[in-house]
Amino acid sequence: MIAKQHIANYSSCEPMTNHFLTTKQLLSIPWINQYTTYEKFYRFSLCKHDDGLSLMAEMNKGKDWWVVCDLIGVTEKLNLPKFKYE
């Protein structure tokens, strides 16, 4: 499975990508794990959408959030809550 960093379309940066096999490996990728250092970090969650699956970083008890990365080729169940926005 692959985690591909979500970067805005207007950026000229190339997204980082990492392979992972488990939820634990996914969350230990340094550029993903850095979100846990934010003061208002709440949790990671999964957002299923028409284009696939994304990892979300929720802040402030889920009131604020960022798309962290797209998850490609997910064949195993990832032990993360389902993302819900209001």
* Phi/psi-derived region of residue 54, left when phi > 0, alpha when psi is between -120 and 50, beta in every other case: beta
CA 37 to each of CA 14, 20, 30, 32: distance values in angstroms, whole numbers, following the listed order: 23, 21, 11, 10
Structural domain for 56, as ranges: 2-7+16-72
> Per the domain annotation, does 83 fall within a domain?
no
The total domain count for the chain is: 1
Quick check: pTM over 0.75? yes
> Per the domain annotation, does 81 fall within a domain?
no
> Per the domain annotation, does 38 fall within a domain?
yes
> Per the domain annotation, does 59 fall within a domain?
yes
Cα–Cα distance measured from residue 14 to residue 48, given in angstroms and rounded to the nearest whole number: 23
pLDDT computed for residue 75 by the predictor: 79
The pLDDT profile of the chain, 86 residues, written as one tens digit per residue, is 999 998 877 777 888 999 999 999 999 999 999 999 999 999 999 999 888 899 999 999 999 999 999 999 987 889 999 998 76
> Per the domain annotation, does 80 fall within a domain?
no
Cα–Cα distance measured from residue 68 to residue 70, given in angstroms and rounded to the nearest whole number: 7
> Per the domain annotation, does 31 fall within a domain?
yes
